[in-house]
């Protein structure tokens, strides 16, 4: 399946019969010797009887992660298509908490992603010793980094959507060299002890933004749902964006809505599409 080009292998493991290992995940995600995917998504039975499903996400490197917004939409489409539920709106457990995807029309899903967190501790990010500033209603940190043999100081915006994001706002859309070199450096920067997803954002106007995301454990993807949420939230707090934003990625556009404070949830709307089904021999 894919959501705006962010692609997934989706497995039904409600009965727990599949022995999940990092090696199996990497085999499935391998684009040459496996199926090929940015992430592998697992459908499981809920641990709490008040919820409908449990949703587990593994990056292509085999690491389990907390959240994936594009995957959440595909997850919802998958369980409806398979007849696992007759509900259009479901409650789904994730490592980051419960989310509520809603199928609003065929292959089009809105997900309540919950509230964002803007604290350095929530990513986590080691801010000790760094300069900071308040820009609009957002605290930004000045992060020194060596890029291609020369030093730069970046003002970074931090947002957790259940998984960690650092967002850089640029005067123009980022080029390939910038995304690959700086993305790799920031993803594994020691000030992000659990690594981080890196967003390169360019605001077009108050309701449109271009975004590229270098995802931890994957590299750049054609779309990143939580990355779109994080960049939109940061742009709103900086006063650059309105409460409803179309985030334009190489794989498609996601619509993000947020009322602007920590008491409100972020809503993400976009496509979810099945590409093919098959059998993978273990």
Give pLDDT tens digits for 65-74. Answer: 999 999 999 9
In a shared domain, residues 128 and 89: no
Total number of domains constituting the chain: 2
pLDDT-derived band at 42, boundaries 50, 70, 90:
very high
Strands 6-12 and 39-44: parallel
Domain residues for the domain of 261 are 120-270
Inform me whether the pLDDT recorded for 262 exceeds 80.
no
In a shared domain, residues 139 and 262: yes
Residue 27 forms part of a structural domain? yes
pLDDT tens per residue across span 197-218:
999 999 999 999 999 999 998 9
224 as an active site residue: the answer is: yes
229 as an active site residue: the answer is: no
Residue 276 forms part of a structural domain? no
pLDDT of residue 41: 98
Q: Which of 72, 79, 224, 272 is catalytic?
A: 224
Residue 278 forms part of a structural domain? no
In a shared domain, residues 160 and 265: yes
pLDDT tens per residue across span 87-138:
999 999 999 899 999 999 999 999 999 999 999 999 999 999 999 999 999 9
How far is Cα 120 from Cα 34, in angstroms, rounded to an integer? 37
Q: Which residue from 159, 164, 167, 243 is spatially nearest to 206, judged by alpha carbons?
A: 243
In a shared domain, residues 188 and 234: yes
- In the block, residue with structure tokens 């509230």: 115
For 117, half-sphere exposure in the C-beta direction (CA atoms, 13 angstrom radius) is 13
In a shared domain, residues 220 and 175: yes
Which of residues 88, 111, 134 is at a domain's end?
Answer: 111
H/E stretch holding 264 reads none
The vertex-180 CA angle with 185 and 156, nearest 5°, equals 50
Residue 85 forms part of a structural domain? yes
In a shared domain, residues 187 and 265: yes
Q: Which of 68, 186, 209, 256 is catalytic?
A: 68
In a shared domain, residues 106 and 124: no
Retrieve residue 210's tokens: 């271009």
Residue 282 forms part of a structural domain? no
Please state, in angstroms and as integers, the Cα–Cα distance from residue 47 to each residue in 14, 42, 71, 80, 98, following that order: 11, 14, 20, 20, 11
pTM over cut 0.95 = no
Which of residues 92, 111, 130 is at a domain's end?
Answer: 111
- In the block, residue with structure tokens 């595909």: 74
Residue 257 forms part of a structural domain? yes
In a shared domain, residues 145 and 10: no
| Preceding peptide of 4 cis, ω within 30° | no
How far is Cα 167 from Cα 157, in angstroms, rounded to an integer? 5
In a shared domain, residues 93 and 130: no
CATH number at residue 249: 3.10.310.10
Q: No. of H helices and E strands in the chain?
A: 4, 18
Start-to-end Cα distance in the chain: 21
pLDDT of residue 164: 96
pLDDT-derived band at 282, boundaries 50, 70, 90:
confident
Which of residues 60, 89, 111 is at a domain's end?
Answer: 111
Burial group, residue 169, by CB count within 10 angstroms (0-12, 13-18, 19+): buried
In a shared domain, residues 100 and 156: no
pLDDT of residue 272: 96
In a shared domain, residues 106 and 131: no
């Amino acid at each position: 399946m894919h959501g705006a080009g962010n692609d997934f292998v989706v497995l039904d493991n409600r009965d727990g019969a599949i022995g999940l290992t990092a090696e199996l995940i990497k085999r499935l995600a391998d684009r040459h010797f496996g199926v090929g995917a940015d992430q592998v998504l697992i459908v499981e039975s809920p641990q709490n009887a008040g919820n409908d499903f449990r949703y587990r996400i593994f990056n292509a490197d085999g690491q389990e992660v907390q959240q994936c917004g594009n995957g959440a939409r595909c997850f919802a489409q998958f369980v409806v298509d398979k007849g696992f539920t007759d509900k259009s709106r479901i409650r789904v457990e994730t490592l980051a908490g419960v989310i509520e995807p809603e199928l609003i029309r065929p292959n089009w899903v809105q997900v309540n992603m919950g509230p964002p967190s803007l604290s350095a501790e929530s990513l986590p990010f080691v801010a000790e010793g760094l300069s900071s500033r308040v820009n609009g209603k957002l605290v930004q940190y000045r992060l020194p980094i060596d890029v291609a043999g020369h030093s730069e100081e970046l003002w970074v915006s931090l947002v957790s959507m259940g998984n960690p994001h650092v967002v850089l706002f640029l005067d123009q859309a980022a080029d390939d060299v910038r995304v690959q070199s700086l993305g790799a450096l920031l993803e594994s920067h020691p000030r992000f002890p659990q690594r981080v997803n890196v967003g390169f954002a360019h605001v077009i106007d108050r309701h449109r933004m271009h975004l590229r995301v270098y995802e931890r454990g994957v590299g750049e993807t054609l779309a990143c749902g939580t990355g779109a949420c994080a960049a939109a939230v940061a742009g709103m707090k900086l006063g650059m964006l309105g409460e409803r934003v179309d985030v334009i990625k190489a794989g498609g556009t996601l619509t993000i809505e947020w009322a602007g404070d920590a008491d409100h949830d972020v809503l993400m709307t976009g496509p979810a599409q099945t590409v093919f089904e098959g059998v993978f021999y273990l």
